[in-house]
Structure 1
């Protein structure tokens, strides 16, 4: 921050005396300009302390001269005496007082260059202090980044450094973590005294929603490094974090250059912290895929032991299986691990399990919280949902019970080769649920539940693209036929009437012999026997698509 006139005039060796405009002494002085021109304003930027001996000025020039300086935004006027004027002309003092411009008398023994050096030293000192503060802040942010919860610690530290709030957002714009140093906690009424995340939840989500247009701009224009927003009450900066998401900071005060430096440093540290864990997250994803493979094989105990190495556990209650088609499985995994459907516990704490599987992200969600998990997953892509009630924990406990059986022979069998006795019921149930979720996923709906699709018939379980391609191929010979007769509609009427010639002919408004001729042509063009029930079923499916 630039030094003020008050601080400059307080420098004793300069012997400066304030003659007018004392109410403006707190204005910052960004530079010292010496000029003997009657109008120096074309050579000024504003914020200067203008020094003059007044050799070309007379009392009659006071008002226009001072007015021009004020209009240009000059911080103050220093009038040197002992050369052109023995004292500052009263007209200048009166004009300056009237205009609110500080007027300082500079004695003959104080060179203008001494004032310039003093201001330069003050500016250099201020810059050094600001740089020192910036380095110190960066050091504190770096130490925060080295903590176990690096990104979270950086966000918390940054909010305190800028005296405002900070949000860490995932690629979809959802809140990963929020911190607020302004004392604004208008959120969850159920949060405990030390539960900052719960307390800040409502305002964080509301703020994230308000930033969606800016995030969309950053997402569509990768060349944008950041976006800044300003209102009378708040100043906001939003920055992307590579492909890992975004972060936003806000302060009731405008951001100084040093504050911008601190914010940029935090952005770099957050990007680095998020990227550094990629290999570890990739390895963990492979382990979770292996765990899912074990579960599909009925190896509940082996799956639980493998997962325990990651500090995680399997759901302890019946689950619903989700098949998620998302462009960023890692972001959805992190969102499920960190988001909180209640004020106290996150999904991970409830035992929600995720694993990459054949191009999808499979989620095992406790039935009790399945709807909340589905809602969150839908923000990251399309979701297929199985029927509920797959019991994993009970299967594992059955294995444990058999392992501790009092029957010596049975006990020796499990001790000798526990992997030879998988739980077939678990394997069957989980495989069926996964198949249901994947079948539901082929629906065009963003969220499709197998139980709902089942009520719409078997056609709802087909892949729309594959089914449409099948229908077009099988009916192409009929659509390409050059006769005036519409063979496709004739076939539809024939099949809809279960092969009854009179009913089908009446529906079409033709003679039954005409319909017989058309069906013979259909059979010839398709090379299929219309009396075969399987052929009729295929043709009916094709006509219904």
Structure 2
């Protein structure tokens, strides 16, 4: 299955980041980048949704003196920040470096002048291309599921297809509390998942992601006339993007 993640490490491997140096937060370089955002103002809280790689020259920000700036960025779940060294930023104080390291928050410095427009265009193009590829794969899966659902033992064949696609456990919970699972080892999760489904079915409300015994599962209810009849369940693996499961 294709990978739909763009990490900070991936960005650093681009030629556009050849003058970049990681100042702090190296343990957070595997964070996914959802988008980029250029910030040159201290009033940025309402401009961020989370997952952004922030680009800045430091204008309007107190990046050498204000720990609170980094606290706010982390509170907004920003992926990391890239700062161009120049008039507004020359070095990262030890206190801020320690804080960023503790929170696995990447702080990256450009040691040469760079064109932020080139970086945003490059990363956004990559993200959009990934999104289009994801939609294409989902369309192909949907067609395959439709064909399999009309064949004998269709449910089991769909679960086998899901397992082959995601290399993960797949289960199907019916309204009669009957469960199908593939591979057979998925039976180990059946009782806990069945209990969750039974407790929430009457409310007709399910969380998209649940955690059972420190293992994450994605739930995809089958809705018929506004009512949840059956539920597909996938074991979430760390290297697969959650949004791909939810779109399925």
* Compared CA separation, residues 241 and 107, structure 1 to 2 (3 A): same
* Compared CA separation, residues 148 and 68, structure 1 to 2 (3 A): closer
1:258 aligns with 2:241: no
1:75 aligns with 2:58: no
Contact 1:8–1:119, Cα closer than 8 Å, also in 2: yes
Question: What is the aligned partner in structure 2 of residue 239 from structure 1?
Answer: 222
* Compared CA separation, residues 20 and 207, structure 1 to 2 (3 A): closer
* Compared CA separation, residues 206 and 256, structure 1 to 2 (3 A): closer
Question: What is the aligned partner in structure 2 of residue 183 from structure 1?
Answer: 185
Q: Of the two structures, which has the highest relative contact order with CA contacts closer than 8 Å and spacing of 6 or more?
A: 2
Q: Distance in 2 between matches of 1:240 and 1:131?
A: 21
1:11 aligns with 2:14: yes
Q: Distance in 2 between matches of 1:59 and 1:157?
A: 50
Give the drift of 1:107: 4.5
Q: Which has the higher strand share?
A: 2
Contact 2:8–2:31, Cα closer than 8 Å, also in 1: yes
Q: Distance in 2 between matches of 1:215 and 1:59?
A: 50
Give the drift of 1:92: 4.6
1:249 aligns with 2:203: no
Contact 1:46–1:75, Cα closer than 8 Å, also in 2: yes
1:146-157 correspondence to structure 2 within 5 Å: 146-157=150-161
Give the drift of 1:102: 1.6
Question: What is the aligned partner in structure 2 of residue 125 from structure 1?
Answer: 129
Contact 1:168–1:246, Cα closer than 8 Å, also in 2: no
Question: What is the aligned partner in structure 2 of residue 22 from structure 1?
Answer: 26
Q: Secondary structure at the match of 1:104?
A: strand
Gaps of 5+ in 2: none
Question: What is the aligned partner in structure 1 of residue 210 from structure 2?
Answer: 230
Q: Secondary structure at the match of 2:152?
A: coil
Q: Distance in 2 between matches of 1:210 and 1:57?
A: 47
Report how many residues are paired: 234
CA RMSD of aligned residues (A): 3.5
Q: TM-score, normalised by structure 1?
A: 0.37
1:90 aligns with 2:91: yes
Give the drift of 1:112: 1.0
* Compared CA separation, residues 110 and 257, structure 1 to 2 (3 A): same
1:193-212 correspondence to structure 2 within 5 Å: 208=194, 211-212=197-198
Give the drift of 1:181: 2.9
Q: Distance in 2 between matches of 1:59 and 1:216?
A: 51
Q: Which has the higher helix share?
A: 1
Q: TM-score, normalised by structure 2?
A: 0.74
Q: Distance in 2 between matches of 1:58 and 1:215?
A: 51
1:152-163 correspondence to structure 2 within 5 Å: 152-158=156-162, 160-161=164-165, 163=168
Gaps of 5+ in 1: 187-202, 219-223, 263-545
Q: Secondary structure at the match of 2:65?
A: helix
Give the drift of 1:21: 2.0
Question: What is the aligned partner in structure 2 of residue 437 from structure 1?
Answer: none
